[in-house]
Amino acid sequence: AAAKFAHKVRSGALEQGFEGSRPLDMYQIPRMFGTTRVPLDRRDELRNDDSSGHCVVFCAGIPFVVPVLDPATGAVVAEADLQMQFDYIVVEAAALASSYDRTHSRGVGLFTTLERNEWAAVRRLLAQDPVNSDTLQKIDSALFAVCLDAQCDRRRTQSATSRAMLMECADNRWFDKSMAFVCGADGAAAVTFEHAWGDGAAVARFMTEMWADMTGTPPPPFCRPLESHGTLEVAACAPPAPLQWKLCEELRAKLATTATWHQRQCANVKLHTLAYQRYGKELAKAARVSPDAVVQLAFQLAHRRLHHQVASVYESCNMQFWKHGRTEAIRPVTAASTAFTAACL
């Protein structure tokens, strides 16, 4: 479904999006695929390859290339063939893990967690070797990343799953990629995306159409169902080969210290998910109250009860009604909201 949507975008067949009757600016969506945020000195650069047809699959910290789309015809790989490729990668990555560990070249994606100027310096050193340069090019140009977390705990809580998807398992990620599908052996899955190329509204459009295609449900009213333009035959092809890294002693040492640093960063973040069941948006609407206002006041009240002070709260505002609109900041703390939270203490 993701490959079919990518071809729909690239072939110019993507329908105009709307929110209600208002048209939305669509310029972000083509940058969703084949894009990587590349670190440079004191700045980053978005690099896009609009002719790629592969995804990069990370498993056990080892990257593999898997073809999913013929850019010329729009043919996509069959689901059964894709499953076969992924099954092979899970087995092959487990078999290769010890050899990659001996060369300290597993989990190079950890470098993408570094401060950007520091990562820029590491990437320059990494790219000096032609083997690494070729691997970086294949990762950068991939339509998207797929991260197979084969060793996850099947009994983990929702909070633990959220931590794994959001920040942990960084040795099996490439956070510079425009978008990644993260899949655990327990069946948990998530979509994460790098924020420089676009915003959540663009990803929501993609997810809506992909979900409709996967489940056989109708897409949004202004969209045609995703179409397959033939099947990309991969069953007869050679199995996916792992991409290679060659790390000098300096890079090996840096990878080890990066792993320790990232673990400390994760330990400094508290994350807990809560599924609130007592009421939802329909009750707020019935009372003629904005559901968003209820949530914003809950944030402010929770912070004030915890820290005994009023915080400067940020809420994003979708600006896609304007040309090249991204997001702007709403500051929802007002004299009225401050009085409300004071009354609830």
Q: What is the 3-state secondary structure (H, E, C) of 9-25?
A: HHCCCCCCCEECCEECC
Other C-beta atoms closer than 10 Å to the C-beta of 30 total: 19
Distance between CA 332 and CA 312 in Å, rounded? Answer: 8
Q: Based on the number of CB atoms within 10 Å of its own CB, is 255 exposed (0-12), middle (13-18) or buried (19 or more)? A: buried
| The one catalytic residue among 7, 54, 104, 195 | 195
Paired tokens of 38: 């590349």
Within 8 A by CB and 6+ apart from 122, the residues are 111, 114, 251, 254
Q: How far is CA 5 from CA 49, 65, 208, 226, 292, in A?
A: 16, 20, 11, 7, 30
Q: Please check whether residue 134 is in contact with residue 72, taking contact to mean a CB–CB distance below 8 angstroms.
A: no
Q: Please check whether residue 75 is in contact with residue 230, taking contact to mean a CB–CB distance below 8 angstroms.
A: yes
Which helix (H) or strand (E) covers residue 39, if one does?
A: strand 35-40
Phi-psi sector, 280: left (phi>0), alpha (psi -120 to 50), beta = beta
Distance between CA 35 and CA 29 in Å, rounded? Answer: 11
Q: Please check whether residue 150 is in contact with residue 60, taking contact to mean a CB–CB distance below 8 angstroms.
A: yes
Distance between CA 318 and CA 326 in Å, rounded? Answer: 7
Q: How far is CA 334 from CA 67, 297, 339, in A?
A: 52, 10, 9
Residue 308 annotated among the catalytic residues of the structure? no
**For residue 180, what are the β-bridge partners?**
145, 192
Distance between CA 329 and CA 210 in Å, rounded? Answer: 29
Catalytic residue set: 195
